[in-house]
Amino acid sequence: MNKYEDRINDTELPEFRRPNDENKVIPTPYILGDIEDLNELPALLGPKTYTKAKLTREEIVEKITSNPKKTNVAWGKEWNCSRERVRQLREQFGLNSVREFNLEIFNLALEAIAKGSGMINANTFKNIPNFSVIKFNTWLEEKPYLKQQVELVRKEAYDKIYNPTSKLCPFCDKTLPIDNFYVSKSGRDRRMNKCNDCNIRIVKHYYDKRYVPNPTVTEKVCTSLKDLGPLPASFFHKSTKATSGLQYNSIRYQETYAKWKSKYKKIMKIEDDNTRNNELSFLGNWKEKAKNEARELIRKDLEEYNMLNLE
C-alpha cells in the first residue's frame, strides 16, 4: 500500500477531502442553473467596482471630470489605491491625464501672465492648483502654435506696466493719458504716480501751509555755530518757507562761508597740479576758517547789539 492509499483510507480526513465526496454538490448562494435569465446575473452580483473604496465606473468618471485639476496622488489617497492605479483607470475610461493639455487651464495661465509684468516664473501660476511652469513649458513644446499667443500676452502685459498709454491717478481716481503725468526717474513707467493737476494742487497746498510771511521768533540758534547759543532774529535773513520765518544760518556765517568758498574755487581752477596742491595746502581747512571768522564777527555784533539795547 502506498502513501496515497493510506490517505484514502484515512478516516481523519475532512469530509470534503474524501474520495467518495467528489460528486457531491456544495451549495452556493447562486447557481447559474437556477437562474432562468442570465441578464439577471449583474443585478444579483451587484455593480462592478474598480477600487478598494467600492467605486463604480460611473462614480470614478463623475469624480474625475468634476475636478480635473486634482492629481492622481490625491485621488489615490482618497480611494485607498496607488497613483498608478488611478492612471490606469483614467486610460481605461478614456479620461485625460493630469499632464495632458487642458484648454481651460491654459486660458487661466494666460490670464495669470496678463495680470503680471509679462515674466513667467514660479509665482506666476501660484493661484492655479497643480500647475507649474514645467507643465506650461511642456505644453508649449508639444503645441508650438501656442507660443505666438503666449508671446502676444506677455508683450501686452509688459507694455501695460512699462510703456502704458494711460494711467490711473489715485488722488482724483481718473484714468488719464500718460502725457498728463510728469516724467520721473523712479517707477517702472518712469512717470509720477499722480497727475499734473493733482501734483500742482498738492504742492500749492503744502507751500501755502508752510508760508510764513514774518518771523515767529525773536531769537534763533545758527545751525553751523550752535556754540554761540541763541542769537537775535535780526542776525538772520528772513525765510517764508521755514516755520520760524528765519533762515537756518546767520548772515555773518553765510558771508564768510561764501568768501572762503570763492577762494577754494579759484584755486581749483589752477591747471598746474603742483601749484594747485601748494595753494590748497596754504589755504588749509577753509570751512573751519569760515566758521572761526564768522564766530568772531558775531561776537562783535553781539557786543554792539547789547550796548544799543542798554541805551
pLDDT in tens, 245-296: 999 999 999 999 999 999 999 999 999 999 999 999 999 999 999 999 999 9
Last residue of a domain, one of 163, 179, 194: 163
Looking at the fold, whether 291 and 248 belong to one and the same domain comes out as: yes
In a domain, 274, yes or no: yes
Q: Which residue has the higher pLDDT, 22 or 239?
A: 239
Cα separation of 254 and 271, whole Å? 29
In a domain, 115, yes or no: yes
In a domain, 10, yes or no: no
Cα separation of 180 and 175, whole Å? 10
Looking at the fold, whether 58 and 141 belong to one and the same domain comes out as: no
Amino acid, res. 117: S
Looking at the fold, whether 68 and 112 belong to one and the same domain comes out as: no
Looking at the fold, whether 89 and 108 belong to one and the same domain comes out as: no
Write down the pLDDT at residue 66: 81
Task: Check: pTM over 0.85? Answer yes or no.
Answer: no
In a domain, 19, yes or no: no
Cα separation of 276 and 289, whole Å? 19
In a domain, 122, yes or no: yes
Report the number of distinct structural domains present in the chain: 4
Give the range of the structural domain holding residue 206, as residue numbers without chain letter. Answer: 166-210
Chain centroid offset of residue 211 CA: 41
pLDDT range class, residue 173, cuts 50, 70, 90: very high
pLDDT in tens, 93-137: 777 666 677 788 888 899 999 888 888 888 888 888 778 888 888
Last residue of a domain, one of 49, 66, 98: 98
- Backbone angles phi and psi of 98, in degrees to 5: -60, -35
Last residue of a domain, one of 182, 210, 238: 210
pLDDT in tens, 51-95: 888 888 888 888 877 887 677 888 888 888 888 888 888 888 777
In a domain, 120, yes or no: yes
> Rg (Cα) of the chain, in Å, rounded?
47
pLDDT, averaged across the chain: 83
Cα separation of 56 and 292, whole Å? 98
Write down the pLDDT at residue 34: 52
In a domain, 14, yes or no: no
Q: Which has the minimum average pLDDT: 25-34, 102-111, 143-152, 193-202?
A: 25-34
Looking at the fold, whether 277 and 255 belong to one and the same domain comes out as: yes
